[in-house]
Chains A and B, each alone.
Chain A
Amino acid sequence: MDLKDFKFTKEHEWVKVEGDIAVVGITDYAQKELGDVVYVELPEVGSTYEKDEACSNIESVKAVSDIYAPVSGEVTEVNEELEDNPEIVNKDPYGKGWLFKLKLEKPDELEELMSADAYDEYVQGITKE
C-alpha cells in the first residue's frame, strides 16, 4: 500500500487530506494491536474538536481505545458502514475502514504529523522495546 499521501500520529491514527477535508482512520499497526474490532463509536457530524481531543472510540473484543482528533476541525462525515460492519477496520484500515472526516480548521497542524517513513520508524521503536 502506498502511504505517501498519508500523515500519521503517535496515537496510531492516519490523516489523508482531500482539499480542505482530512479523512481519519487508524493504522494497520493499531488494528493489529487492537485485535478484532467489534464496535466503533463515531463522533457526531457537526461537532468540532481541537487537535488531540478524544472524539470517539473503538472497541475490540478485549479493549476500548479512544480515538483523538489528529487535527482541529468540524466533523463533516462519518463512516456509517462501520456501525454494522466494524470488522472493516481490521480488513482495510487505510481504505474502507476510514472513521470520519474533519474540515481542516488549522492546516498548519498537519506539519506536526509524521510521514509514512517517520511513522514506520516510530512503530519499530515501539516493537523493539
Chain B
Amino acid sequence: MKKTKVNKAHYALKGKMVEFVGWDLPVQYAGINEEHNAVRTTGGIFDVSHMGEIRFKGPQALDAVQYITSNNAAKLKPGKIHYTALLTGKGCFVDDLLVYMINENEYFLVVNAANIDKDFNYMKEKSGHFNVEITNESDDYTQIAIQGPNAEKLLSQFTDTDLSAIAYYNFTYGKVNGIDHIISRTGYTGEDGFEIYFKSDEEIASGLFLELLEKGKKYGFVPTGLGARDTLRLEAGMALYGNDIDDSHTVLEANLGWILKLKKGEFLGRDILLKQKEEGVKRKLVGFEILDRGIARHGYPVYVEGKEYSIVTSGTMAPFLKKAIGMTYLPIEKCEIGSEFQIGIRNKTVTARVVETPFYKRNK
C-alpha cells in the first residue's frame, strides 16, 4: 500500500486507517460527525497527498488544456484556478479536476487519486499534436487541506504571505514554516480554506501536519479523515468522480453546465455537447432529501413512477444538516424542485424529494 509523507502522523494521532485506492489513509480519527461539524464551525486538517498533480508546460500548454477540458482556460490569469472536466470524446468525464494557471506557458492540474495514471496517459495521448510537455509530479507533492472558518487565522501563523489577499480559487507561491509552498484558497468541503502543496521528506510533512493541529487546537481544529471529506463534499453538493460523475454521463447531464464553455473553440466532445445543449438533456443529476425514515447509499435503486430508473449515486446522513440526503440522475421531467420519487432501501421503499443544491451553503 502506498503511504503519503504524512502517514506517520496518522498513526501518531491514532487514525482509523483504511485502504483508499491503494493508499493507507485515515477514514476517521475521533469520529466522522465530530470531524465534519468541526470543519463547519471551526476547522479541520486533511492529508490529501494522494491527489495527483500533472504539469503542462510549453508554448501550446494552453491549447492542450483547452482541447481536453470543458472550461475556458483562456479566461484564467496567472494565480487563478478553475474547476473543469477532463472530457471523453462523447462529452462525458474522464475525471474532474482543478486547473492552476502558473503563466501562459504553464498549467498545473490537480486530479483525483484514483485516476492519476489513467488521466496522465489520456492527457498525453489526446495532446500528442500540441507542443507541450506533460509531467506527472504526483509523487513529489504533499498536499494538506486546512478547511473551516478559522483556516486563515491558523495558516497565517505559519507564513509571512498575506493570506487575506488570496481570493477564493486563487493561489500564490509562499513559504510555510520556511518551506516553499503553493498556497491555494480552495477546498472540497463547502467552507473557506486552503490547500497547500509542497515537496519535502516525511519528517517535515508529518511534522507540519502535527504542528498545524497543535497550534490549531485553540481555534478548534481537529484532524479530519476521508469519511468527513466525503460527507462534507456531499452536503456542499459537490460531485464525486466514480459516484456522481463518470464516463457515461455528460457534463450537461451532471448539471455542471457552468464549467462548459462551448464557444471557446474546438475541444473533445464539443459537437455532442453542443447538440445536447440545443436539444436539452433527457436526464439530470439532482439532489434529494428522504422524506421517510432511512438513509440512501450509493448503488441503491431509484424508482420513477414504479419503474427502476437509476441508482443513488451518493447518499448519506448529513452530519451538519442532520438529514438523509443524496444525489441521483432523474428523467428531466422529474427534475424540478419538489418532485418526488422512490428509493429502495434494502427490503423497503421510501419516498425522496428533489431539493436545491448545494444542500448546505456557508454564510459568507
Instruction: Judge if A35 is at the interface, Cβ distance under 8 Å.
Output: yes
A39 and B33 contact, CB distance less than 8 A: no
Instruction: Judge if A38 is at the interface, Cβ distance under 8 Å.
Output: yes
Instruction: Judge if A61 is at the interface, Cβ distance under 8 Å.
Output: yes
With a cutoff of 8 Å between Cβ atoms, the chain B residues found around residue A64 in the complex are 295, 297, 346
What does the 1/0 interface line of B206-233 toward A look like (CB < 8 Å)? 0000000000000000000001001100
Q: In whole angstroms, how far apart are the Cα atoms of A59 and B28 in the complex?
A: 16
**Contacts A61-B227, A61-B316, A62-B27 hold; do A36 and B297 have CB atoms under 8 A apart?**
no
B346 and A38 contact, CB distance less than 8 A: no
With a cutoff of 8 Å between Cβ atoms, the chain A residues found around residue B59 in the complex are none
Main secondary structure of the interface of B (DSSP, over half): mixed
B295 and A62 contact, CB distance less than 8 A: no
Q: In chain B between 102 and 134, which residues have their CB closer than 8 angstroms to a CB of chain A?
A: none
What does the 1/0 interface line of B161-203 toward A look like (CB < 8 Å)? 0000000000000000000000000000000000000000000
Query: Among the listed B32, B230, B294, B346, which residue makes an inter-chain contact with A36, where contact means beta carbons less than 8 Å apart?
Result: B32
What does the 1/0 interface line of A61-105 toward B look like (CB < 8 Å)? 110100000000000000000010000000000000000000000
Q: In chain B between 13 and 56, which residues have their CB closer than 8 angstroms to a CB of chain A?
A: 16, 27-28, 31-34
Instruction: Judge if B73 is at the interface, Cβ distance under 8 Å.
Output: no
Q: Please give the number of chain B residues whose Cβ is less than 8 angstroms from any Cβ of chain A in the complex.
A: 19
With a cutoff of 8 Å between Cβ atoms, the chain A residues found around residue B346 in the complex are 57, 64
Q: In chain A between 44 and 66, which residues have their CB closer than 8 angstroms to a CB of chain B?
A: 57, 59-62, 64
With a cutoff of 8 Å between Cβ atoms, the chain A residues found around residue B31 in the complex are 35-36
Q: In whole angstroms, how far apart are the Cα atoms of A62 and B295 in the complex?
A: 11
With a cutoff of 8 Å between Cβ atoms, the chain A residues found around residue B33 in the complex are 36, 38, 61
- Chain A residue nearest in CB terms to B16: A35
With a cutoff of 8 Å between Cβ atoms, the chain A residues found around residue B294 in the complex are 39, 41
- Chain A residue nearest in CB terms to B28: A35
Q: In whole angstroms, how far apart are the Cα atoms of A53 and B133 in the complex?
A: 60
**Contacts A36-B31, A36-B33 hold; do A61 and B319 have CB atoms under 8 A apart?**
yes
With a cutoff of 8 Å between Cβ atoms, the chain A residues found around residue B317 in the complex are 38-39, 59, 61
What does the 1/0 interface line of A29-40 toward B look like (CB < 8 Å)? 000000110110
Q: In whole angstroms, how far apart are the Cα atoms of A57 and B294 in the complex?
A: 11
- Chain A residue nearest in CB terms to B27: A62
- Chain B residue nearest in CB terms to A38: B317
- Chain B residue nearest in CB terms to A36: B33
Q: In whole angstroms, how far apart are the Cα atoms of A36 and B294 in the complex?
A: 16
B295 and A35 contact, CB distance less than 8 A: no
Q: In whole angstroms, how far apart are the Cα atoms of A59 and B315 in the complex?
A: 12
Q: In whole angstroms, how far apart are the Cα atoms of A35 and B32 in the complex?
A: 7
Q: In whole angstroms, how far apart are the Cα atoms of A78 and B34 in the complex?
A: 28
Q: How far is the CB of A80 from chain B (nearest CB, A)?
A: 12
A59 and B227 contact, CB distance less than 8 A: no
Q: How far is the CB of B344 from chain A (nearest CB, A)?
A: 13
Q: In whole angstroms, how far apart are the Cα atoms of A62 and B316 in the complex?
A: 8
Q: How far is the CB of A43 from chain B (nearest CB, A)?
A: 12
With a cutoff of 8 Å between Cβ atoms, the chain A residues found around residue B34 in the complex are 36
Query: Among the listed A36, A39, A83, which residue makes an inter-chain contact with B295, where contact means beta carbons less than 8 Å apart?
Result: A39
Q: How far is the CB of A88 from chain B (nearest CB, A)?
A: 14
With a cutoff of 8 Å between Cβ atoms, the chain B residues found around residue A38 in the complex are 33, 295, 317, 319
Q: In whole angstroms, how far apart are the Cα atoms of A29 and B9 in the complex?
A: 24
A35 and B297 contact, CB distance less than 8 A: no
Q: In chain B between 219 and 259, which residues have their CB closer than 8 angstroms to a CB of chain A?
A: 227, 230-231
- Chain A residue nearest in CB terms to B346: A57
- Could you show 23 A-B contacts with beta carbons less than 8 Å apart? A35-B28, A35-B31, A35-B32, A36-B319, A38-B33, A38-B295, A39-B293, A39-B294, A39-B317, A39-B324, A41-B293, A41-B294, A57-B346, A59-B295, A60-B32, A61-B33, A61-B316, A61-B317, A62-B27, A62-B32, A62-B230, A64-B346, A83-B293
Supply 20 further A-B pairs (C-beta < 8 A) apart from A35-B32, A39-B324.
Answer: A35-B16, A35-B28, A35-B227, A36-B33, A36-B34, A36-B319, A38-B317, A38-B319, A39-B293, A39-B294, A39-B317, A57-B346, A59-B295, A60-B32, A61-B32, A61-B33, A61-B227, A61-B317, A62-B27, A64-B297
B interface list, Cβ under 8 A from A: 16, 27-28, 31-34, 227, 230-231, 293-295, 297, 316-317, 319, 324, 346
Kindly list the 8 A-B residue pairs having the minimum CB-CB distance in the complex, ordered from nearest: A38-B317, A61-B32, A36-B33, A36-B31, A39-B295, A62-B227, A59-B295, A36-B32
